[in-house]
Structure 1
Amino acid sequence: MITKEKLKEHIEKFPDTFSMDELIERLIFIDKLEKRIQQSQSGEAISEDELKEDLQKWFE
């Protein structure tokens, strides 16, 4: 979930002109980014070391 304030911050960084497709892509990206940040802050994300271990197992 994203707040209006966070969305406003992101929109301020948009170029002066953009297509609807670009807007939708950016909104999807912002949503995913905010979800990952929230997951990381709540301890739901795995560490980089855990990720490396998991990837190494995949390629064994």
Structure 2
Amino acid sequence: MNKNKVIEALEQLPNEFPTEELIDRLLFVEKVEQGLKDVEEGKVIPLDAAKERFNSKWSK
């Protein structure tokens, strides 16, 4: 994450807000950016494979 992303997230908040709201927003932005990076790097699995893993693990 860079300073510009933090400033952008901060500017979207009202003048008064709980600190947790800023932290939650920054964590969300960071996770989305990491997910997009993973997609670009091919570090993802197809939806059908994910469903199969989920079903085989949780249907026991």
Instruction: State the identity %.
Output: 32
**Are 2:9 and 2:26, in contact at CA under 8 Å, matched by a contact in 1?**
no
How big is each residue's C-alpha offset from its partner over 1:13-58, in whole Å with a ceiling of 9 and x where there is no partner? 4445422110011101111111011101110011111101101211
Structure 1 alignment gaps of length 5 or more: none
Identify the structure with bigger relative contact order (alpha carbons < 8 Å, sequence gap 6+): 1
CA RMSD of aligned residues (A): 2.0
Q: Do residues 23 (structure 1) and 15 (structure 2) align?
A: no
> Which protein is bigger by CA-based radius of gyration?
2
- Where structure 2 has 5 or more consecutive residues not aligned to the other structure, the ranges are none
Aligned length: 59
The aligned counterpart of 2:48 is: 49
- Taking the aligned partners of 2:45 and 2:11, their CA distance within structure 1 comes to 31
1:3/1:47 Cα in 2 relative to 1: closer, same or farther (>3 Å)? farther
Tell me the TM-score normalized by structure 1: 0.70
Question: For 1:18, what is the secondary structure of its paired residue?
Answer: coil
Counterpart Cα distance in 2 of 1:19 and 1:26 = 11
TM-score by length of 2: 0.70
